[in-house]
Structure 1
């Protein structure tokens, strides 16, 4: 029988409080925040450009008497913190956030708390420079340049709270570092272990030489002054982040490292040292398991792509230098774009844990001398994936692809859905629609799927979303990717369909309307968008987009239809009517793209008429936008199924880790003009846009064909067997947007999706194609839906009413419960009686 209603609800983890917390702890830092006196160019407070990558260490001692039922740490910082109780790391954070906002975390202390004296220690870091996961908050006179607030709650009472009695020390064991560049904006880490007693986080450490913490009293041009607790400017009310504790896994190398001899001497710059040493990877120097004398380069293979904080244990004399990075491929290009770290050892044992997570398969270390023993590991902390859901079938390839696709999404599911953990770790506004859809179809934990579209809803003043949120590319001056905002509206639509959460959808409809009205300003009397500014990406394939883009117009049409549906469901007929009217005008104008002789929609429209390009992007998006009239559906389906006509190219084949660096060669945003036979060839979609293609084929009644189309992912499994790459021809080695088959095997092949918002009823439409057997267990807010199909019969066990769609098109409706159904198949064309 089906599971009880313990499946996904998007509910908060233990310790989550929806209401603001009444803080006892005060904002504290050292007496040197990264703030400069106001000047004539900014009289409201400003950052000090010379104080960046600033680290501060904190300690406090508190006592606990008697047995303890529960203890929790409430904490946040701007920009980062790692917290320790009695020398044991208990958590880090905070989750990513936009400027002017901050979330606090709740960490369970039960495993590290002792009766009697306890020591809470915190290592805090203020980046100063934007990173892929952090934007600076506009500062006041006293805050916005490094802040920490924390309190320990034991059995419901505050046992320790941040304040002037905490001890503080500048983190002078770390060298201040800058980002390596605009695209590679992770900040390197340079740590001298000789300058910090490793016992500083535990009991018995003498901190009498440390200074008292400086309490930060609010001081802004307006508002009350003197407030020292959270709730005022510049961060406003602190709310608990809505994500459960991460699932932590330790990864060690699968075998001994390979060693390469290095010449004497080393580049002193942490930015370039490792890339310079990596030249030995190309010059033919023999490598092997035997460690050479002198300086050497070691390559540790972790066996698969991992994402987390690198941990090293180094045994040897003081003053040795170890430089390293976690990378997805062992090439100088990959090392040149990685986030490196450098350690100078103390005498004896040096333990190092990187402050920030990174991703990769190989840990590359340059070791200064043969007398340093090295042990390495990576502590991976990802969004948890509880057991219970799953998919299986009679094809081992598809089962393997499903598992690798889930692993790829898990790698990119951290405090947001990331593009890739190996090179960027940015929360791109458009990429996340695939990650979210996979989680909604396959994971009993929907917390990140519910949270991510809300995190991304940080519109610019003009209504458009930035290309990235809560990171460096969200800054002023970085152009948007307009179509990415339209994929975000589809993400909101998924939230509506799967959760039926009226409050969450209502919260986001205003942002969605702002996006759509931004586009509407570029619509001409023909109803079409022309000359839309920004970076119109669509996909990495060379689909033509100049002037009036059919693919962009179709994505706008899909978003208008999604918005109208959500507005009507939310009881807002005025907004729904506006969107439907815009969609109707678009549908009329979209006819100009159709070429009857070619039997396809052309990709562009100019003063002289339609352009030459034809792509499956335009065809698929037009279907999903309901822009294809019934008389053309067969021709569009035939175009999408003609895989021999499809071809793809990616500029990422020559950029990234494989061939060229990010700054070398032709910029990836430049779109090549057609040099192919546009009357016979069709530009095919890269893995990301295939989610639109597959939706279109299902809409056209060709979901059975997807079983064979999934095999296109074989090339990704060959180039990266543990995670899916970004493009068919290259790109990052772990990109969540390539994981569409995990969703589609459940939604289109097994055929399980919401028939009504919130899964008030479930649609079951199995389309196994050539598969002899398919089965799965799919999460809903009411429990799991179980479906198994074999020998022309389907067994369905559901906690909610079922709308069963047969391959013939017949629809049966059943109440909740278990039943077996004989499939009704359509007659082949021409054989109907």
Structure 2
């Protein structure tokens, strides 16, 4: 290392107090910078504003800015954004990464307090920036604007009031140590990562590193068709002014392995130049080793001395973890490591996971993955010409923070465990957005997150993410419907949408109003909600029901029949119309409310066509005027939740939902999981079974995703006391994965956020704590413990937690806001804020 400092400036101390995120200047001084080779191919007849260069995907650059301070600062902060990614270092210490996922025409910035990282004398701010090029599950390209859209970074540093932004004085070098990695496929798009540390000085983020042979950063000038061109700061095309990050920084524990095993790697070959062959090698070794999985109970003590040669390491973290993988090795230069963090130690699991490769530099060999990974089992193939030592393995968990309330506890330890694992499942599936699963896709699916959001509103005092989720997802296609995911590869119009996912998004907006009372945000989302409903109206028949709706009508993974007029889809649509009517009332929008209520009523009247008096149930479909044969929990529950079941039919629907002996489930994911064929093998998951069951006796049961509607329906039907028993169905998932809940009763991902509903339902239904007025200014407390003789816990509100404890007929309540108590006979009593003891 050298003390050479070619670019530095002196900052006098004591001019201003610390700047907060609300006092940054409205206009940026920091400029967009990159190398002199952005990943753009330039204008053409087909792309007059330029286009990404297909030969320069997944590029990285290293950036540095030296700062010389007279003394330690009293206050210092930094804000930064990038297209696509950055990792920020100050004086060799990594402070964070970002930005959060965003739409193609919107971007956010992150802010860091950096005074504790700065010292008197020489300092350096360093950035590892990356432009992906290819869409990923958490990034989609932005429109190019001649010089923007192919990689850029903008940052500002405020030290005691003086602001210095990115400009040509920053030093830059293209990072050649990473091999660009395209997506492995359309469905499996988690990016692989191959780092040759021999091409990256371990000290490049430190102040006394010699960057004299680096180049000045290139300032990117925006070219605009209308108006003056040449803008170099954020605020123009394609993102407009960056907004502050609306969700907190990700956080989490450092997770270490609990067990592991080192085996001979066999006679295999991998030259370290590409990850494709490495993936094949790992897959073959896992297939050979799969039968010996139980051997991984062997303790793995670090540091571990390993002889020269080729070895396979199988490491068990003992639970699903989600974050960035860290490895530290003491090995000779050229030692190669390739591996993957998996849901299960099988070759099928490898099909849907990222593969990592690392070539040792021979000193300071510490690898931290660029991406968040998820899994339980780490498999590593290490090849070295000499003996080497594995010094550390860890996963630095990175999930949204949860400010916990008092957990649910009862006289049934199974329910307590289900509550805890449900919360952990949602934690693992909550990043900068609610994602389906941390182990595979990490996509922000438009419909999945309705469950995550409901759990956070009930059990997390930090409501940043449940507030942000419906706003992030509000990125409609040009025809008004929402894509199946937001801010990711499947958001493209080339991918058909899941129409019912947009209806679950409307429920998210409704729940946001219920818990926060934020009419300003609701008003901003209502045009999107209306256009979603008008999209459905384009497929409405003369009877008021929608029919043969295009796209992938999923409803649930169970074989719910959806051809022709789908009863479940129409019921979800009716609920969405009612939600929009209620939200419009809150906004004082009488016209929209009347329109939505008229459509709700029309669906309710036409819904009678699905009723089969002989079966005593709603059938799932009507095709060419003929009722189909299948009957499902989905149709019955959605109709109740939509308020379209006539009073004289509610008893029959209640009996159907409570008759658990008639319920069966099956999932196409049973053969597409990490322990079977993998994600892309076998019959497409969009193909569902036609009725081959006794439709006159059996009812298609809901998978975990749709069970919240079943539980809500039973609550509306007066059967809330039955929910503790129904939630014990999650016991089966505990048996399959004791640390996180799987996607389906049969197969699927080993950790899926939409299976976390018990963490909400035990609070909202069993303890009976829910808002009585928007914004939780008044709560409704109606405990329904069923067979439980003891149950306690708390619910989140903006004013603090509401605690309820039930012991026999005795109920203790402590609430920061007034509440209405409802006893088991339906008698209501109003109480002021504070502690109350009453009888159930």
TM-score, normalised relative to structure 2: 0.94
Moved more, 533-542 or 366-375: 366-375
Paired position in structure 2 for 1:828? none
When residues 297 and 223 of structure 1 are mapped into structure 2, their CA distance, relative to the original with a 3 A threshold, is farther
- Structure 1 CA distance for aligned equivalents of residues 262 and 786 of structure 2: 46
Within 5 A, what are the aligned runs for 1:339-378?
339-369=354-384, 371-374=387-390, 375-378=392-395
Q: Does 1:243 align with 2:266?
A: no
Corresponding residue for 2:553?
Answer: 536
Shift in Å, 1:661: 2.2
Task: Please tell me whether the aligned partners of residues 21 and 238 of structure 1 are also in contact (alpha carbons under 8 angstroms).
Answer: no
2:433 counterpart SS class: coil
Question: In the TM superposition, what is the alpha-carbon distance from 1:156 to its structure 2 partner?
Answer: 3.0
Give 3-state SS (helix, strand or coil) of 2:230's partner.
coil
**What residue in structure 2 maps to residue 329 of structure 1?**
344
Q: Does 1:109 align with 2:103?
A: no
Per-residue CA deviation, residues 507-550 of structure 1 (Å, 9 max, x unaligned), is: 11111111011111111110101110000000000010011100
Q: Find the partner of 2:816 among 794, 799, 821.
A: 799
Show the 5 A alignment for 1:322-471.
322-369=337-384, 371-374=387-390, 375-471=392-488
* Alignment of 1:144 onto 2:149: yes
Q: How far is 1:81 from its partner?
A: 0.4
Q: Assess if the C-alpha contact under 8 Å between 1:218 and 1:228 holds in 2.
A: yes
Query: What's the CA shift for 1:773?
Result: 0.9
1:430-579 mapped onto 2 (5 Å cutoff): 430-579=447-596
Q: 2:112 aligned with 1:100, yes or no?
A: no
Secondary structure at the counterpart of residue 498 of structure 1 = helix
Query: In the TM superposition, what is the alpha-carbon distance from 1:248 to its structure 2 partner?
Result: 3.1
The equivalent residue for 1:189 is: 193
> Is the 8 Å Cα contact of residues 307 and 387 (structure 2) preserved in structure 1?
no
For the pair 1:619 / 2:619, whether they are aligned, the reply is no
Counterpart-to-counterpart distance in 2, 1:684 and 1:274: 38
CA distance in 2, matches of 1:509, 1:440: 21
Q: How does 1:427-826 map to 2 (within 5 A)?
A: 427-823=444-840
The DSSP-based 3-state class of the residue aligned with 2:596 is helix
- Please, which of 228, 235, 240 is the counterpart of residue 231 of structure 1? 235
Q: Which residue of 2 aligns with 1:269?
A: 274
- Bigger mean CA offset, 635-644 vs 256-265: 256-265
Tell me if the contact between 1:389 and 1:444 (Cα under 8 Å) persists in the aligned partners: no
Change (3 A) 1:342 1:439: same
- 1:621 match: secondary structure: helix
Which is worse superposed, 205-214 or 309-318? 309-318
Q: Is the 8 A contact 1:404 1:723 kept in 2?
A: yes
SS in 1 for 2:153: strand
Counterparts of 1:10-409 in structure 2, within 5 Å, are 15-17=20-22, 21-158=26-163, 160-266=164-270, 268-283=273-288, 294-369=309-384, 371-374=387-390, 375-409=392-426
Aligned residues: 809
How far, CA to CA, are the matches of 1:473 and 1:611 in structure 2? 32
Measure how far apart 1:822 and its partner are. Answer: 1.6
* Shift in CA distance, 472/223, structure 1 to aligned 2, threshold 3 Å: farther
Q: Deviations over 1:746-804 (max 9, x none)?
A: 00000000001001210001000010111122221122212111121212222222111
Question: In 2, are the aligned partners of 1:25 and 1:149 still within 8 Å (CA)?
Answer: yes
What displacement does 1:321 show? Answer: 1.2
Residues 82 and 129 in structure 2, CA contact (< 8 A), matched pair in contact too: yes
Contact kept? 1:420, 1:732, Cα under 8 Å: yes
Alpha-carbon distance in 1 for matches of 2:158, 2:113: 10
Deviation at 1:292, TM superposition (A): 6.9
Q: TM-score, normalised by structure 1?
A: 0.95
Following superposition, the deviation at residue 15 of structure 1 comes to 4.4
Structure showing greater relative contact order (alpha-carbon pairs closer than 8 Å, 6 or more residues apart) = 1
Distance 2:24 2:627 in 1: 55
Local SS of the residue matching 1:283: helix
Q: What is the deviation of 1:274? A: 3.1
RMSD: 1.6
Distance in 2, Cα, partners of 1:20 & 1:465: 34
Distance (whole Å) between structure 1 residues aligned to residue 542 and residue 64 of structure 2: 66
- Looking at structure 2, the residues matched to 463 and 812 of structure 1 have their Cα atoms a distance apart, in angstroms, of 45
Deviation at 1:597, TM superposition (A): 0.8
Task: Show CA shifts across 1:594-651 (max 9, x none).
Answer: 0011000000001142100000000000000001011011110110000010000011
Structure 2 unaligned runs (5+)? Answer: 1-18, 299-304
Distance 1:172 1:470 in 2: 28
CA distance in 2, matches of 1:404, 1:481: 28
Q: Give the corresponding residue for 2:7.
A: none
**What are the superposed Cα offsets for residues 172-211 of structure 1, whole Å, 9 maximum, x if unpaired?**
1111111100011122111111111100000111000000
Return 5+ residue gaps in structure 1 as ranges. 1-13, 824-833
